[in-house]
Structure 1
């Protein structure tokens, strides 16, 4: 993610002009390019943030800027291939969508060109006589578009892949790897959850890091079946699961809804929503992020929260997620 300093209303200069150009290219800015971050620019940023399912605050920070760059990547403008750091963009998501529609498993449609996407593309190329070098150029794009056009927007394999990750579960936590994380100040909560889940025999990783992308990388290396994150946020409580432009984590949505239902007696009704936040997008497994406004209330009920998370995770592993 780019290292930029957040800027908002009152900012002026070439960086604001660049922002307005990028917003214009995505259809969110229709005014003149002034280089002044005024209320109209803030409204355009807000509209873009809402469309991309990230936190809406009207401020251009690193996450918003990164997604604006990704939104400007048009399919066919560059070669797509496996590299470090992974290529990201709307062009990547479009290739993933087409591969998934044609029956090639890319994992999740997340706009990140990782090993699963590279392997799926190479498999596709072999099947259609394009060699199989794993590089997506103009010939591969044209072939994908020609074959997927009659099928519409099926995108079914990504959901099947997520379901298969959980189908072999026994309904018990024993033998599974579960990850629990927080971005700072909530160690007592994650410790309670770790104890409760560990009591059922699961192997539990707790992650404490302010950067959610770093957390996602750690839990992916750990090979967790499920991730549950906690964060304090100056807003009403919510529980989020991954939702991108072409993919919704159905298992994550189920887990979020179950946790919200069980927490209602303690915290009142908690909305669930699909979001493209880094932790949810970059984790390879069903993941939820539980956000709370009052740390005192969360700490008071940490034991009950741990019971809820353990029970909801156990139920997710027991039930086959809906296709």
Structure 2
């Protein structure tokens, strides 16, 4: 509050482009600017604090990427933006496997686009340019928003794991100060025969990259935050992680006798968005209570993860 200069003017212009700014561009971060930032944070399902930090700024930049304004192709670091998410949605609607609709142009999205191009006689170079985009839009227009393949893909990945933790890779992480909790979870899940990776890093994006390389089937994160407790799963503009949502609800239900009612919510936080597997982030307000009950929490996480895999396996068997 009170900051002023070209950087604030840039922020206000970007808020205006997303429909969250309606007054004159002043270049001063005042209460009106903070309110606009909060409205954008609500729309993008991230922490609502009225502060333009790294996550909010990155998403503002992504929101300014309009479909057709640039070529979309596989590169490192991956391209991100609303334009990438829209192409993912269209490909998913047409039945091509893009993974999650997360606005991150990764390997699955590039392969799905190349497959689409080959099917349409467009060469298959994996680059989304004008001709590819026009063909996508023409085919999707009559179908509406039917982006279901991304949800099916997530379920199929877990169904192949079977109903047991034995032999599965599970990742557990925290951003600092909660090593006893992750150690207890690792022991409990490991006792069920799973291979467990514990990640300790203050940067959630770095954690996501590490668990993706590990090839985890499920990720459970822990954080202490001076706010109401919550358990979050990934939810974007075109995608909700159904498996993550189910896992979050089950953990919250089992923890209620210890911590009281804990709400679950879909969020676009970096850890949840950038992980390639169903992920939940468990936030607690009191570190003392969490550390005191960490063994019970570990048992809950192990049970809920095992039940998630088991329920999906049963559903798969019934559908067959």
TM-score w.r.t. the length of structure 2 is 0.97
* Corresponding residue to 1:266 among 258, 268, 273: 258
The answer to whether residue 100 in structure 2 is matched with residue 108 in structure 1 is yes
Regions of 4+ moved over 2 Å: none
SS of equivalent to 2:92:
helix
Matched residues in 2 for 1:127 and 1:275: separation?
35
The equivalent residue for 2:290 is 298
Matched residues in 2 for 1:139 and 1:170: separation?
42
Residues 86-105 of structure 1 aligned to structure 2 (within 5 Å): 86-105=78-97
The equivalent residue for 1:176 is 168
* Corresponding residue to 1:241 among 223, 229, 233: 233
Residues 303-322 of structure 1 aligned to structure 2 (within 5 Å): 303-320=295-312
Matched residues in 2 for 1:21 and 1:265: separation?
47
Residues 181-220 of structure 1 aligned to structure 2 (within 5 Å): 181-220=173-212
Matched residues in 2 for 1:254 and 1:71: separation?
29
Count residues in correspondence.
315
Matched residues in 2 for 1:69 and 1:52: separation?
12
The equivalent residue for 1:131 is 123
The equivalent residue for 2:25 is 33
* Offset, 1:103: 0.2
* Offset, 1:169: 2.7
* Offset, 1:166: 1.0
* Offset, 1:235: 0.2
* Offset, 1:168: 2.0
* Corresponding residue to 1:145 among 137, 146, 153: 137
Matched residues in 1 for 2:60 and 2:162: separation?
42
* Offset, 1:18: 0.2
Matched residues in 1 for 2:263 and 2:90: separation?
32
* Offset, 1:208: 0.2
Matched residues in 2 for 1:61 and 1:245: separation?
21
SS of equivalent to 1:319:
helix
Matched residues in 2 for 1:70 and 1:170: separation?
37
SS of equivalent to 1:289:
strand
* Corresponding residue to 2:43 among 41, 51, 62: 51
Matched residues in 1 for 2:163 and 2:72: separation?
40
The equivalent residue for 1:6 is none
* Offset, 1:167: 1.1
Matched residues in 1 for 2:312 and 2:179: separation?
31
Please list every run of 5 or more consecutive structure 1 residues that lacks an aligned counterpart in the other structure: 1-8
The equivalent residue for 2:216 is 224
* Offset, 1:240: 0.1
Matched residues in 1 for 2:41 and 2:28: separation?
19
Matched residues in 2 for 1:176 and 1:283: separation?
17
The equivalent residue for 2:62 is 70
Matched residues in 1 for 2:214 and 2:141: separation?
38
* Offset, 1:170: 2.5
Matched residues in 2 for 1:167 and 1:42: separation?
44
Matched residues in 1 for 2:162 and 2:89: separation?
31
Matched residues in 2 for 1:295 and 1:89: separation?
36
Matched residues in 2 for 1:65 and 1:227: separation?
26
SS of equivalent to 1:206:
strand
The answer to which of 165-174 and 294-303 deviates more is 165-174
